[in-house]
Structure 1
Amino acid sequence: MHALDILGDPVRRRLLELLADGETSAGELGEIVQREFGISQPAVSQHLRVLRESGFATVRPEGARRIYALHTESLEMADAWFDQFRRYWQPHLDALGTELARGRRARRLIPDTTDATDASTEASDDEMPDKEN
């Protein structure tokens, strides 16, 4: 099975996201995924088996529990496969980063006039006579 077949499934992607935070028991993973996706425990077990057999996750017994961990080598292989396509989106991401940095810089350079504007508005309102219709 190709890495994109594995990563294409939202349940498996979510399991990998959870494993990215560190080792987690099958029971904990199951509780989260069952709640979020409304699938059964056997379905979660099937997804974990696919991740394990495809090399994206490892499992070790700890008493009666099974502890899953992320196996980064498969993710690195998937990342290497994506390298051939980065040239299409990387310039756009770089340009976005530049624009975001410019916006942050512009906000830092513009003095905060909010307080002064609020104070002058309040003073103007106090000085103006009430208009009667």
Structure 2
Amino acid sequence: MDPLISSLKVAASGLGAQSERLRIVSENLANAQSTGNTPGADPFQRKTITFTAELDRASGAHMVEISAISPDRTPFVTEYQPGHEAADELGFVKMPNVNVLVEMADMREANRSYEANLQTIKQARELISMTIELMRGQ
């Protein structure tokens, strides 16, 4: 298959993967303070995303695929908030295992990767257009 078409397919799979990654990061950030509703209840659990490379037999290129979206198993942090509705008998509330700084770093990395894939698509489109123009000129 044409290398330009292959590069478009690979970049498009990267766009989709990073878009999903941004969605997961946004969900984590939105729920960074979401506690349970009852005493001792578990709060929101951070989600992680895992990618894998899948061979596209038609193009021979390795595409980015999402292999799993799973809960992060790191322990919840507890805070002393005796008046909170989710506080246990000792006044401690389980807080989500979301670290806002880590999520912001993940968001920045996903955004940059998304932009790089988008730039690849733009360059491939430009090369295809230039090739068409050269063929018209003959």
Q: What's the TM-score, normalizing by structure 1?
A: 0.25
Higher relative helix content: 1
Higher relative strand content: 2
Larger-Rg structure = 1
Instruction: Kindly indicate whether structure 1 or structure 2 has the higher relative contact order, using CA contacts under 8 Å at least 6 residues apart.
Output: 2
